[in-house]
Structure 1
Amino acid sequence: MSTINFGPDLRAVAKIEAIPMILRMVKQVTGMRFAAVARVTDKQWVTCAVDDSIAFGLKPGDELALETTICNEIRQHRTPVIFAHASEHPLFSRHHTPKLYGLESYVSIPIVRANGDFFGTLCAIDSAPANLDIPVITETLTLFAQLIAANLDMQASVDESQQELAMEKKTGHLREQLIAVLGHDLRTPLSAIRMGADMLESKLIDRPERRLATAIQSSAKRMGSLIENILDFARGRLGSGIPVEPQIVETLESDLQRVIAEIATAHPLASIEQSISVAPLNRCDPVRLCQLLSNLLANAVTHGERGGLIKVNISVEACHLVISVWNRGVPIEPELMPKLFQPYTRSEQGQREGLGLGLYIAAEIVRGHNGTIGVTSSEADGTCFTARLPTLTVPAQQATLLPETPPAPDNHP
């Protein structure tokens, strides 16, 4: 008979490292020379593990005809069967199993899973009589059978968890790939919308119509920002991380000022106070730093007091570019703090704008620069996000001494 359906059971028993020791202990406790773990169903008897010193001839995966075994009876009544001298036993001297296999001594203990399913038996046999009258033998072998059942349950739980984890990883990977593809493909029609809105605004004279074109531009710009956030999130979650391309830049201060001006224009009720002092030359990714500042400012506008003061401070401290954004408002809930930079995290007290990716992307940008980001929040001191990024800066007095272009390499020896 085929054993293909018992492959998982054979592998599960083989994974239990204690099985060989248990079988040796069964032989020592009973004084018998053959011990095995058998898988028993209503149709088949299959060896899962064996310790054989009498050359009985079974190995893992071998079968015995179910009707020739006592284990089929044990499967039905689920109680141990023990006899020490079959030929002198009132019942088993007439039983077909000892006669068929030449057995004198026999022990078989049911292995029952935690859910009540009958798995099989832990058994020992010998062609010679054995001394099995000691009560501790049955108790010990019953404990061994329970240990095997517990290990099978634990192994099944681990296997199920691993399968669920693998499926979740596969599903998550496909989902994030879909997000990336959708985000990329949405750029083309959005570009057409923005170009159309720009053309309308330049041609329309009537003020209400120009306002409509301006509203289309604003919505398209916001949609573009959401798409970029989706793409950055997909890149980060797919393992490649948000790309950061550090370079020596001379316009970092003006770039950051432009971001603040854009946020102020988009949110005219916000009062933004800024203090920016950076070196003329900085090594960083200016596009990503502008995105970082924009996300922190947008977060302050969304969750701070409506029309309240927002302070932006950007400076260089100990070879680190320090960007801090402070606002007054309802403090961040303590239970939210540990997961604040995770995706889709939002405060219950704030507005429900955006995708909940802004702080996650900000943290990824900081990580890409090998920096750190943190937050403090209290009723008395307000909320302050601070990012610290290592940067190569050149003092102003030295910047004028740097050549506009690097010298050509000297090829002479």
Structure 2
Amino acid sequence: MSTSTTDVLDGEKALRHRITVLSRSLREVTAVEHLQKPRYVGYDTVRDADGTTYGRKKAILMSGGCSVPTCTMCPFTNYNNFGLHGANADGLRGQVVTMLDRTDDEPDYDMLALYNDGSFFARREVPADVQVDIARRAAATGVRRLVVESLPQFVTTETLVPFVDALGDVQLEVGIGLQSADRLVRETLVNTRVTRESFEAAVALMQAHNVLPKVYLMIGPPFLTEAEAVTDVIDSTAYVASLGVAGVTLCPTRLAPNTVAWWLYQRGHYYAPNLWAVVDAVRGAHTKAAVRVACINMRGTDFDSVYPDSCERCANPIVDGLVAYSVSGAPADLPTSCECRRTTTPVALDHEHILARTVATLDACEAIA
């Protein structure tokens, strides 16, 4: 007999609490305070949903970390001053001032992406006066577009409007990690504090103020099969497009220490998605909206993590193809074959089945622990 909807929702609530407790228990406070300088600065080319390409300078500021670090896969508390320091106004402002000083030998760029390992519009993380000061300083550089990230609940009239006003003619783009349009996947398996209501309100507010939403979706959340993950990406992309958002950024999951994803991996109950599943997800999503793939760490060289992989013959060519596709938007740039190639056929997301399987997985892993 099928479980009732009420029982499924009650099961989700209990499971969400269980995963939240586990996720928080695995986080580690940094042992040594990192210096107040960006932990990453890099340059690349990105494609807009309308096909326009931009030279981008991307910086990840050293911060006190996310104020709601519950997500099952997020590794960023490993790399910032998580747990030791909250918002360091002078430190954040000083990093931006130094980073914006153009040098003669740096590549030209007209897009600036400033990330803080959390929510830029959360005033516990970036104080209001620092937000506005950063906007003014970015505008003075002459860039055409500024990109920041935030959970949607922090994107409000009170935070967004003063920032947009301070930017003047600079186009603002705000990244939001929706991760999945599916409630169970997003709020329980990924364990993010993003509801559909908060996401849609933030998108509507941004659209009303000519701010571009940049929506991130996961490929391969914990507890899903690869077939379910491909379905989730395709359906989520269609949902985002239905809100008038022209494009999405797909993020293949990597496994990093101090996360639930890593904890499951160590116990043999979760693996990073196969690169061919990533290709299948991209091909399926491509028909719904403009798609980029977040490939910055796909080669597995800059963090202590386990990355999506395939066989030794095709792994690097697949990553090269995903990078090329993210700039061109042309499916012809995606790889098509290898002896190891397996096609992932999307399957429906059965909440009752996924819920039971996730509970069983956690029980099995706790028995091993």
Using the size of structure 1 for normalisation, the TM-score is: 0.21
Larger Rg: 1
Higher strand share: 1
Higher helix share: 1
Using the size of structure 2 for normalisation, the TM-score is: 0.23
